Amino acid sequence: QRNQSFYDAVGKEKIDELVEAFYKRVQQHPDLIPIFPDDFTETIRKQKQFLTQFFGGPPLYVEEHGHPMLRARHLPFEITPARRDAWLSCMSGAMTEVDLEEPYRSAMFDRLVKTANHMMNTPEDEK
């Protein structure tokens, strides 16, 4: 049906499960461990809020934290092309784990690729 968001199509449960499966991978990825906190509780909570709104659900992130300003919020972390690839590979694995169905999977992944490209702030050789 027209104007149905990804959030409506896949549902709140699926987005929450996706975030859990994603950070389980991030926590084990050698390229990502150095820039993430030891405790992922707050990271997971914020990412559930963010992806809910990013995919067209209620604006949970902005209600609690204000404008996302994602690129600015990522500037304290060195985000190289390798870390972007690592982030996206964790996301792809998580999408498989939670069985996110097509065509939503590919369309959602494409949006995340665009945002991930925008987050890069450090060339590989300056790491």
Residues that bind ligand HEM (CB under 6 A): 35-37, 42-43, 46-47, 50, 54, 65, 70, 73-74, 77, 79, 83-84, 87, 112, 115-116, 119
Q: How far apart are CA 51 and CA 48, in angstroms?
A: 5
Return the number of the residue (6 or 50) whose C-beta is nearest ligand HEM: 50
Least CB distance to ligand HEM at residue 103 (A): 19
- Per DSSP, the three-state class of 66 is coil
Other beta carbons less than 10 A from residue 14's beta carbon: 19
Of 24 and 46, the one with the shorter C-beta distance to ligand HEM is 46
Nearest approach in angstroms of CB 101 to ligand HEM is: 20
Rounded to the nearest whole angstrom, what is the least distance from the CB of residue 1 to ligand HEM in the complex? 25
Evaluate whether 52 touches 58 at the Cβ level (below 8 Å). yes
* Non-local CB neighbours of 54 within 8 Å, separated by 6+ positions: 111, 115
